[in-house]
Amino acid sequence: MRRFFLPQALCLLLLTSLHAQDASAFDIPKTDEGLPGAGPIRRYDWFQKLWTRKRSAWAKEVDVKQGALVFFGDSITQGWGDNIGGAFDAEVANRGISGDTTRGMLLRLKEDVLSLKPSGVVMLMGTNDLEEGAEPAVIAGNLKLIIAELKAANSEMPIVLCNVFPSHESKKRPAEKIKEINKLYAAAVKGDRQITVINTWALFANEKGNARKAEFNDLLHPNKVGYQMWGNTLRPVLETLNLVGVPVDDFKPEPGYEMLFNGKDLTGWGYRQKKTLKKTENFDGKINSKEHRYLAKHGRLIVTTPPEGRAFTQLWTHQEFGSDFTLKLEFRANAGADSGVFIRKPQLQCRDYLVAGPYKELKKYKAGDWNEIVVEVKGRVAHCTCNGEVLESEFKLPPSGPIGLEGDRGQMEYRRIRLKRN
């Protein structure tokens, strides 16, 4: 049998041609004609090269990244690194491209995200559209199209939508425009239980609504501190959605304390009539309230983010407490979360204090982490502290009543809820 060999130069030419064809499948279309969405698609030379290089590389990872938690966005997402800084115990896929717009993200959604059949998607988008002159309504319109495709692909997959981060007018990203985008984003997903909105704007905004240099050296991209803060406020929600690993809590109460929450279900808790506190619903043996606002999971009593944006609810113990007692609990708030602890009936504000107040001067409060509240009740007065710092020195109380937890906005988690009668 005679064998034929192609010249080396011809082989190289064929390989180069095949590589070029593969790469061209991920090129930015030359015009906007016939493309979905509205608004800008960037075609700067540097951006086109980055777009093609990133997407070509990702196409080779589709099989190994099946079921990953996808982070979808622009340079802010890209800058977190391929493994999202190692912030989460999960298989992750970073699908951020520096400079991308919401319309650009819409164009690459199918190949870059949906092809992975992700366990969940975390999205941050819109800031680059502003730099290109797009109006908030156009940006929000692209978000709606992206969400529609995500939901069509999987109607059960959790979607986490981050508010557009603050920046600065010197970056062509004025605060009022960003606030308007976030307002339209909230309206677009209001009432949708598949989507959780994270108030990352409030997390980072200063009193003028702009980014702080402490977290954004260039007033646009987070530094190491900023990324850590972002991770901390995402973690509670991602854990609740079972998208990342959850550490085991093997806490045992101190001698003399009884656990008011058993860590497994809502036994001992229920709803009451708001004015009279007459019992109306009993959640014994149930892991969640009927509207899923309160959830027992991972050893935590979770006040979930309401799909309406804000919703006022109150969960109460069956027991009432008339004698002196010490109440201890730990709480963890995501960005801007607003909740409260009712003591016999009056409410002690329990919030993401440094963002939502009212105790904004606390030095020991740990944003995005667990904090301990201790309430010492003597007679009809309570002394209340957070991590040892005084919240209220003489909190007035009625002679008797239950313990309660309020739901307002954002996600708040409680754990290790225990009480000792003195």
Q: What is the mean pLDDT of residues 26-39?
A: 96
CA-atom Rg of the chain in angstroms: 25
Instruction: For residue 7, name the pLDDT band (cuts at 50, 70, 90).
Output: low
Q: Mean pLDDT throughout 376-385? A: 98
Q: Residue 12 has what pLDDT?
A: 47
Query: Residue 26: its pLDDT value, please?
Result: 93
Model confidence at 17: pLDDT above 50: no
What structural domains does the chain harbor?
23-240 (3.40.50.1110), 258-421 (2.60.120.560)
Alpha carbons 156 and 146: distance in angstroms, whole number: 15
Average pLDDT, rounded, for the chain: 95
**pLDDT band of 53, cuts 50, 70, 90:** very high
Residue of 105, 112, 152, 103 whose CA lies nearest to 25: 112
Residue 206 above 70 pLDDT? yes
Q: What is the mean pLDDT of residues 253-280?
A: 97
Average pLDDT of the segment spanning 81-106: 98
Q: For the chain, what percent of residues have pLDDT higher than 70?
A: 95
> What is the DSSP annotation of 176-238?
HHHHHHHHHHHHHHTT-TTEEEE-HHHHHB-TTS-B-TTT-TTSSS--HHHHHHHHHHHHHHH
- Half-sphere exposure (CA, 13 Å, Cβ side) for 142? 29
Q: Provide the pLDDT confidence category of residue 28 given band limits of 50, 70 and 90.
A: very high
Please write the tens of the pLDDT for every residue from 177-195: 999 999 999 999 999 999 9
Q: Is the dihedral of CA 329, 330, 333, 336 positive or negative?
A: positive
Residue 300, SS3? strand
Structure confidence by residue, pLDDT tens digits, 112-152: 999 999 999 999 999 999 999 999 999 999 999 999 999 99
Specify the 3-state DSSP secondary structure of 18: helix
* Residue-level pLDDT at 270: 98
5 pLDDT higher than 70: no
What's the CA gap between 199 and 165, in Å, rounded? 9
User: For residue 207, what are the contacts with CB-CB under 8 A and spacing of at least 6?
Assistant: none
Per-residue pLDDT reduced to its tens digit, 296-307: 999 999 999 999
Q: In this predicted structure, what is the pLDDT of residue 14? A: 41
Give the Å distances, CA to CA, from 108 to 30, 100, 370.
Answer: 15, 10, 38
Q: Which two tokens stand for residue 317?
A: 């113990």
**Structure confidence at residue 183 (pLDDT):** 98
CA distance 397 to 170: 51
Mean pLDDT value of segment 82-100 = 98
Average pLDDT in the 39-62 region? 97
Q: Is the pLDDT of residue 2 over 90?
A: no
DSSP 4: -
* Alpha helix ranges (H) inside 113-174: 127-131, 136-153
